Amino acid sequence: MAENESTPEYDCRDYFKEAVCIDAMRIYDSCSDKDCLEDIRVLFPAARQPLVDSATNVRIRDVSVITVYIDLQPIPFNKGFYSVDMTFFFDVSLDLFGGPTSCPVPVNGVSIFNKKVILYGSEGNVKMYSSDRCIDDVDPQDCKVLPKATVQVAEPVALSAKLCDHPVCGCEPYCRIPECICQRYGDNFECCQCKNTVYATIGLFIIVQIVRNVQMLIPAYDFCIPEKECVTSSDNPCELFRRIEFPTNEFFPPRATDLGDGGRCCK
């Protein structure tokens, strides 16, 4: 018979010094989602729309998130639950083609996507005041202790784009873009009177959380004292270059037998 190995018992008091109360954001509810945003409209600044109208084909290059607007509202007759309305603004990089032998013309536009989820955020009927608030800036609504919604977004995946010939484009309600984003592109966006429209397909990964400020008791081990000394950077570029290791792998790519799976990709 195998010998029974006994695990030594440790007194937790030997590891942490004291129990301290901290003020932290606790996650009450969360969800993750994987969305394929198929054929969402790409809007362009007015100065760039003529390039789109004269194009015969389009190719997507990259997609990035500009910002996400979040609106948190309690759900009536369902205490503790909140609806999280999210508006995603994407910067879409495209290549426009005017003919079979023409060079691609890079252009950037904006796509908008709306999403709503319902999460549990618990209840709180107190108001919070702090000493860092100016008396002239106090708003009674801001003092109510409501949960906070957060959205984490991974880098979007640029899947495809297509060019459609629409002689008459109606003004769509979602084409209203905030002024701060218009300033980023240097012009207002064209929603109507366009000859061609572009639609993109984007892969999106998100995590939505509802957090609330609470007081929690945790074990404290010690203060966070840095153990590494600060290294003064040098202005000499050659000295910085000498610290970089020689990139051996770049000159000698790994063989199939050096791979972890022995070079066998298919089973």
| pLDDT tens per residue, range 200-227 | 999 999 999 999 888 888 888 877 777 7
Where is pLDDT greater, at 2 or 72? 72
* Contact assessment for residue 55 and residue 98, using Cβ atoms and an 8 Å cutoff: yes
Per-residue pLDDT reduced to its tens digit, 146-164: 889 999 999 999 999 999 8
Res 242 pLDDT > 70: yes
Return the pLDDT at 213: 85
Which of 54-58, 112-116, 165-169 is the least confident region? 165-169
pTM for this model (two decimals)? 0.73
Task: Return the pLDDT at 209.
Answer: 94
CA angle 213, 217, 223 (to 5 degrees): 100
pLDDT digits (tens, 9 = 90+) for 170-197: 445 455 788 888 888 887 776 666 788 8
- Asked if pLDDT for residue 143 goes beyond 80, the answer is no
What pLDDT band is residue 13 in, cutting at 50, 70 and 90?
low
DSSP class of residue 144 equals: B
What is the percentage of the chain residues whose pLDDT exceeds 70? 76
Question: Is residue 264 scored above 60 in pLDDT?
Answer: no
Q: How far is Cα 263 from Cα 242, in angstroms, rounded to an integer?
A: 35
Residue in this structure with the two tokens 């203060």, named with its chain if needed: 223
For residue 114, what pLDDT band results from cuts at 50, 70 and 90?
A: very high
Between 244 and 27, residue with greater pLDDT: 27
User: Quick count: other Cβ atoms within 10 Å of Cβ 185?
Assistant: 20
Which region among 13-27, 67-81, 128-142, 197-211 has the lowest average model confidence (pLDDT)?
A: 128-142
The more confidently predicted of residues 81 and 13 is 81
- Measured CA to CA in angstroms, residue 24 lies from 17, 38, 154, 254 at distances of 20, 39, 25, 47
9-18, 50-59, 86-95, 157-166: the lowest-pLDDT one: 9-18
- Alpha-carbon distance of 138 to 132, in angstroms, equals 11
Structure tokens at 200: 């993109």
pLDDT score of 86 more than 80: yes
Rounded distance between C-alpha atoms, residue 137 and residue 186, angstroms: 33
Q: Give the CB-side neighbour count of residue 155, counting CA atoms within 13 A.
A: 3
Mean pLDDT estimate for the chain: 80
